Each structure stands twice: as C-alpha cells, then as structure tokens.
Amino acid sequence: MTDDNGIYEGNVIADDVPEKVIEVGRHIMERGVAEGFVGVAGFDLIVTEVGDVQAIDLNFRQNGSTSMLMYHEALGKPVNKFTSYAAKDITENEVFFQKIEDFVKLGVLFPLSFYDGDYFAEPVESRFVGIWYADTLEEIEKLEQQLLLS
C-alpha cells in the first residue's frame, strides 16, 4: 500500500488475487529457483489500469508480507496489516513506546521489532515494526489514526 506520492504505507492480505498476478509471481519464483535461490521471497506487483501485471520490486528475502502470512492464523482476525512507524522526534521516544505498548496490550497490534532510539549516547527516533489485526481494514485504519494523532 502506498499513498498518493508512492510512499510505502504497509501491506495487507488480499483475499481476491487475480489469477494473472499469481501466475506472474509463480513465474518469478520459478526463475529464481532455476538460478539457485532457496528460501522465502516476496514480490511487489502492480496491476495497471489496463490490466497488465508488472513487477516493481523483487525481494528474494523475507519481507513484510512474510511475517504477516506466518502469523495470520495465530492472530485470529480476518484482516492484518504489516506496517512500521518512527517516533516524531527524539523527544517523543518514550511517549512513542508507551503508545505502541498500549495497542499491544489492547490486543490489536502484534510487535515484531522495536528499535530504542534512546539506547545510544546520541539518541535518534525510535522505530517500530508490527502487524495490526482486526475484523476490518477500516477498524485498523481508525486504530492507526489514533496512534499517529495522539
């Protein structure tokens, strides 16, 4: 998912994937295997306005979708969204951590990693990577706004 400027805004699991998209992903993976690749891979594919499928990023490694797919059943909700955030600035690191912790305790945000920006002598913005889980994407978007606006 991207915003209007093409800035990454996370991944969601799609239920209705066009067969053409699956075929392109399978072809890319088969080529990787033929070249000796073994492991997890994920590909960023887009469907153009005229219905063509284009690969824009080949990730022969674990990516955001990998974690989301691995934990999907365990999270127990039909909609998951993989995403990452950073504190607004170094003075917000503790508040940022507390907000993330509150959503984790609420049972709607699964933590994958947290980079504590205050750990080093010269602090930087803290960073978080995790998976939202809820009944609808709209519910996740509301929770996300609460996190970003508070």
Q: Which residues are annotated as catalytic?
A: 61
* Single-letter amino acid code for the residue at 114: F
DSSP codes, 30-80: HHHHHTT--S--EEEEEE-TTS-EEEEEEE-S--HHHHHHHHHHHHT-SEE
What gap in Å lies between CA 19 and CA 126, rounded to an integer? 40
What gap in Å lies between CA 148 and CA 144, rounded to an integer? 6
